[in-house]
Amino acid sequence: MVKSKKIVQQGELSFGRQVASIYLPTMIYETGIGAVTPVIPLMALQLHASPAIAAFIVALLGIGQVVGDIPAGVLATKLGDRKAMLYGAVVTLLLLVTCAFTPNWMVFAFSIFILGMVNALFVLARQAYLTEVTPPLRRSLSLSILGGMTRIGSLIGPFVGGAVMSIFAIQVAGKSQDWLPGAFWAAVVLTCLTWLVVFAVPEIDLPKTVKKVEKVTVKTTYILRQNWRMFATLGFAILLVGAVRQTSNTALPLWAAHIGLNASMTSYIYGLSGLLDALLFYPAGKLMDRYGRLWVAIPSMLILGGSILFIPLTHGIWSMAIVSLLMGLGNSIGAGMIMTISADMAPASYRAQFLATCRLFGDTGAAAGPLLVAAGAGIGFLAGGIWLLGGCGLLSALILGLTLEKYSIHANQRTRLKNGLTKQGHPFS
C-alpha cells in the first residue's frame, strides 16, 4: 500500500507547490491519455472489431467517466485527494498494460471503459485537492491553470504517441506499419512519471487560518435534495457547457468532410483550434479572480456558441479556419470556469462529493453533445445538429447570467459587495 508522507504546514500554498503537486502531474497524466485517445479506434479495428464497434469503444472512455464521477467523489473523500491520485495512477498503469497486450476487442473495450472511470477519479481528486489548498481569491487562476494543463497535455499527447509508434514501426507484407501498442507504452511511462511526481511531493495541509471541518460521506441523493434548485438551473447550464465544449471534436471534422476538405487540411484546422484553446487560460483566470466569474463565463459561451452557429455557413479552408479559431478562443477563455464555479459553491464537509456531482452534469453533457451532431448527420441534416449545439451554448450563457449571482459570492463585484467583501473579494478591514 502507499505510505503517506509527512504533512507540510504552510501559511499559504505557493505557486511552486501548486506546480509540483498539481500542475506537473496533471500535464504528464493528460499527455499519456492524449497519446492513446486517437489510437483507440485504430487498435479496436486491429483487434477485428467492426467500424461501428470501434466507434462505440471510443465513446466508452467518456461513458466510463460519467459512470465513475459519483464513485470518484466517495473514494476521494475516504482516501484523501493525494492518495486518490496515487491509487488512480496505479490502476491506470495496469489498464494501459492490459490494453497493450489485449488479445481481443472485448477485453480492450472493458479496459477503456474502466480507464474512463479511473480518469474521473484522478480528475476529481486533483480538482478537490487544489480547491482545498487554494484561497478563494486565487481559486479561479489556480483552476484555470489546471484546465490549461489538461488541454496542453491533450494537445501534445498525440504527438508523443505518434512519435513512439513511428520509431518502432513494424514491417507487414513488405510495408512499414505503425506499432499501435507503442502509444499505450508511451502512456505507461508517462503514468509512472505521474505517480513518482505525486509521491515525491509531501502532502500539503490547509493554511492554519482556515478552520478545519470534519469530512463526512453523504449520499448523492442528499446532495441533489439539498441543492435541487441550483442543479435544476445552474446544473443544467453546466450540462449544456459540457455538451458545447465537445462540439469541436465532432462538428469540425464532420463538416470539413461534408464540404470536401481532405484529412490533412482537417487536421490542420483542428490543430489551430486546439492550439488557441491551450493558450489563454492564464488571463482568463486572472480576470475571474479580479472581476468575478461571470466576466468570463458569459463571453466564453457567447463566443463558443456563436462561432458554432457559423460552422454550417463555411464552404472552404479559410472560412473553416476562422471559425475554428473563434471556437478555440471561446473555449480557451472558459478554461477552469466550471471547476471554479463548482468550487465556490461546494460545502467544505463533503466538498469532493459535491464537486463529483457537478462533474456528473458536465460529463453527461460532454457525452451527449456529440450524439446530437451524430443524430443530425444520421437523418441527413448535419447542419441542424450543429445549430442545435450552438444554440445550447447561447442558452447556457443566458442561464449563467440569470442564476450564478444566487449561488456564488464571487459571481461579480456586485455579489462580493452584497456579501460584505470588497470588489476584489477581500474582507473589509
The domain that holds 22 is classified in CATH as 1.20.1250.20
Over residues 269-276, the mean pLDDT reads 75
51 shares its domain with 176: yes
pLDDT band per the 50, 70, 90 thresholds, residue 9: very low
pLDDT band per the 50, 70, 90 thresholds, residue 176: low
Check pLDDT > 90 for residue 398. yes
Proportion of the chain above pLDDT 90, given as a percent = 31
What pLDDT, on the 0 to 100 scale, is given for residue 204? 56
80: left (phi over 0), alpha (psi -120 to 50) or beta: left
User: Phi/psi of residue 24, each to 5°?
Assistant: -65, -50
What pLDDT, on the 0 to 100 scale, is given for residue 211? 45
What pLDDT, on the 0 to 100 scale, is given for residue 228? 92
pLDDT digits (tens, 9 = 90+) for 327-359: 989 988 888 899 999 999 988 788 888 998 998
pLDDT digits (tens, 9 = 90+) for 41-83: 888 888 988 877 887 887 788 889 889 988 888 888 788 778 8
What pLDDT, on the 0 to 100 scale, is given for residue 323? 92
Neighbours of 37 (CB within 10 A): 20
Secondary structure letter of residue 208 according to DSSP: T
Which residues lie across from 404 on neighbouring strands? Answer: none
What pLDDT, on the 0 to 100 scale, is given for residue 214? 53
Greatest alpha-carbon span in the chain: 77
Residue 58 belongs to a domain? yes
Distances (CA, A) of 298 to 15, 191, 366, 402, 417: 28, 36, 19, 10, 20
Residue 220 belongs to a domain? no
Check pLDDT > 60 for residue 173. no
Which candidate, 215, 207, 209, 213, places its Cα nearest to that of 9? 207
Residues in the chain: 429
What pLDDT, on the 0 to 100 scale, is given for residue 1? 40
C-alpha cell at 237: 447550464
Check pLDDT > 70 for residue 267. no
Check pLDDT > 70 for residue 117. yes
Q: How many domains does the chain have?
A: 2
**3-class DSSP state for residue 8?**
strand
Distances (CA, A) of 34 to 39, 108, 180, 255: 9, 17, 14, 23
Q: Residue 333: what residue type?
A: I
Residue 219 belongs to a domain? no
Q: Pick the most confident of 36-40, 114-118, 202-206.
A: 114-118
231 shares its domain with 195: no
Structural domain boundaries, residue 23: 8-202
Distances (CA, A) of 198 to 24, 25, 202: 9, 7, 8
What pLDDT, on the 0 to 100 scale, is given for residue 403? 94
pLDDT digits (tens, 9 = 90+) for 404-426: 999 999 988 899 988 888 887 77
What pLDDT, on the 0 to 100 scale, is given for residue 249? 64
Check pLDDT > 70 for residue 371. yes
233 shares its domain with 358: yes
389 shares its domain with 243: yes
pLDDT band per the 50, 70, 90 thresholds, residue 13: low
Residue 207 belongs to a domain? no
275 shares its domain with 371: yes
Q: Pick the most confident of 79-83, 192-196, 283-287.
A: 192-196
C-alpha cell at 59: 465513446
Over residues 172-190, the mean pLDDT reads 80
Over residues 162-182, the mean pLDDT reads 74
Q: Which residues contact 60 (CB under 8 A, 6 or more apart)?
A: 109, 112, 113, 116
C-alpha cell at 315: 464552404
Residue 261 belongs to a domain? yes
| Under 8 Å between Cβ of 133 and 80 | no
Check pLDDT > 90 for residue 236. yes
Residue 347 belongs to a domain? yes
192 shares its domain with 242: no
135 shares its domain with 239: no
246 shares its domain with 180: no
CA 71 to chain centre: 17
235 shares its domain with 190: no
pLDDT band per the 50, 70, 90 thresholds, residue 10: very low
CA pair distance 60, 231, nearest whole angstrom: 25
269 shares its domain with 371: yes
Domain termination site, one of 170, 202, 234 = 202
How does 345-372 read in b/e, with b if 16+ C-beta sit within 10 Å? Answer: bbeeebbbbbbbbbbbbbbbbbbbbbeb
83 shares its domain with 161: yes
Residue 208 belongs to a domain? no
pLDDT digits (tens, 9 = 90+) for 134-151: 777 788 888 888 888 888
What pLDDT, on the 0 to 100 scale, is given for residue 216? 65
- Mean pLDDT (the chain) is 83
Q: Model pTM?
A: 0.78
pLDDT band per the 50, 70, 90 thresholds, residue 263: low
CA pair distance 197, 89, nearest whole angstrom: 11
412 shares its domain with 361: yes
CA pair distance 164, 184, nearest whole angstrom: 10
Secondary structure letter of residue 204 according to DSSP: B
Check pLDDT > 70 for residue 202. no
Which candidate, 335, 345, 355, 306, places its Cα nearest to that of 128? 355
What pLDDT, on the 0 to 100 scale, is given for residue 248? 66
Residue 214 belongs to a domain? no
Q: Which residue has the higher pLDDT, 175 or 35?
A: 35
Alpha helices (H) in 134-246, listed in sequence order: 139-167, 181-200, 220-226, 228-245
